[in-house]
């Protein structure tokens, strides 16, 4: 009985010490995050890079359509050439939102380099045309989809450099191109470089 009491006391003490060392969970202000930088890419890097790319495209005049109106933009391949498991949609989505808000472009989700982003555009046509259960006047007709004018492609590259025995530097290159689909010519291109330096013990992936 005495042994059991000692065991329970040790377990209780361990639980108290563990709870005392645990880090409290807090909400992070994603718009004004002053948290420490990390060697890998985080949302702040994507946010800053996307905004700079949008500003660059808009200031270049490449999105000023002759005669007015808006270009139709399609998303091509955004290649991840880093050591990190990056969802490139995180970058692309921010760029798309910025461009849509500018009023210069609309984005097609009916086609992309990886297939339709929204498969319902074609699926509804396939399933509903000729289906007596649906009013055919409300079914999307043939020849209504709009082909894209411009294609947005890009690449994210990572380069790691050993500074000395204890320090490393990671460089991230965000490269993007805007291509006129009709001619195959690039209307706009830009690159943003993010550099980070820290301990060799910090993971850059």
Q: How does pLDDT run across 92-115, given as a tens digit for each residue?
A: 999 999 999 999 999 999 999 888
DSSP states along 126-172: HHHTT-TTS-GGGSPPTT-SPPPSEEEEEEEEEEEEE-SSSEEEEEE
The per-residue pLDDT for range 13-52, each reduced to its tens digit, is: 555 445 556 678 776 666 666 667 788 888 899 999 999 9
pLDDT, average across residues 134-143? 95
Indicate yes or no: pTM above 0.85.
no
């Amino acid at each position: 009985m005495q042994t059991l009491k000692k065991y329970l006391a040790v377990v209780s003490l361990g639980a108290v010490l563990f709870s005392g060392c645990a880090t409290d969970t807090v909400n992070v202000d994603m718009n004004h995050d002053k948290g420490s930088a990390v060697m890998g890419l985080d949302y702040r890097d994507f946010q800053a890079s996307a905004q700079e790319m949008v500003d660059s495209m808009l200031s270049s005049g490449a999105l000023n359509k002759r005669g007015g109106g808006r270009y139709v933009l399609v998303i091509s391949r955004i290649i991840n050439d880093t050591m990190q498991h990056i969802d490139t949609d995180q970058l692309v989505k921010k760029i798309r939102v910025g461009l849509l808000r500018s009023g210069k472009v609309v984005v097609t989700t009916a086609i992309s380099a990886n297939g339709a982003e929204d498969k319902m555009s074609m699926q509804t046509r396939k399933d509903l045309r000729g289906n007596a259960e649906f009013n055919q006047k409300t079914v999307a007709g043939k020849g209504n989809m709009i082909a894209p004018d411009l294609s947005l492609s890009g690449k994210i590259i990572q380069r790691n450099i050993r500074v000395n025995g204890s320090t490393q530097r990671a460089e991230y290159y965000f490269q993007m191109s805007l291509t006129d689909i009709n001619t195959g010519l690039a209307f706009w291109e830009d690159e943003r470089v993010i550099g980070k330096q820290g301990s060799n013990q910090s993971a850059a992936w």
